[in-house]
Structure 1
C-alpha cells in the first residue's frame, strides 16, 4: 500500500512539473513572437530610412559636408 502511495506521489510531482514546463514554453513562445514582430517592424523602418537617405542624396541635398562658409 505504501508503494502505491509513493508512486502516486511521484506521478503527481511529475504532472506538476509538466504543467509548469508547458506554461514556460508558452511564455517563451509568446516572447519570441513579440520580439519577431518588433524585429519586422524595425526592418521596415530601416528600409524606409534607407530609401529616404537615397532620395536626399540623389536630389542634391547631400552636398559636401566640409564646405567652407562664403566668408572665408
Structure 2
C-alpha cells in the first residue's frame, strides 16, 4: 500500500466516523426534543393536579373540635 493509499484510507475512515457522529447527534437532538416536550406536558399536568388538590373539599371527617371524646373518657 502506497503512502497516498494509506492517507486516503485514513481520510475515508475519518469521513465515515464523522457521518456516524452526525447521525448520533441528530438522534440525540430528537430524543432531547421529545423529552423536553414531555417534561413541559407533565409540568402542565402537575399544575392542574395541584390546583385540583388545593380546591378539593375537606374530607368527610369532622374537625377535632367537633369530635365526641372516645368512650374511655
1:7 is matched with: 7
Deviations 1:2-57 (A, max 9, x none): 0000000000000000000000000001000000000000000000000111111x
SS in 2 for 1:24: helix
Root-mean-square deviation (Å)? 2.3
Alignment of 1:1-72 (within 5 A): 2-56=2-56, 61-63=57-59
**How far apart, in 2, do the equivalents of 1:3 and 1:65 lie?**
88
Gaps of 5+ in 1: none
After TM superposition, the score normalised by the length of structure 1 is 0.79
Describe the shift of the 1:11–1:54 C-alpha distance in structure 2 as closer, same or farther (beyond 3 A): same
Regions of 4+ moved over 6 Å? none
SS in 1 for 2:59: coil
Bigger Rg over Cα: 2
Gaps of 5+ in 2: 68-73
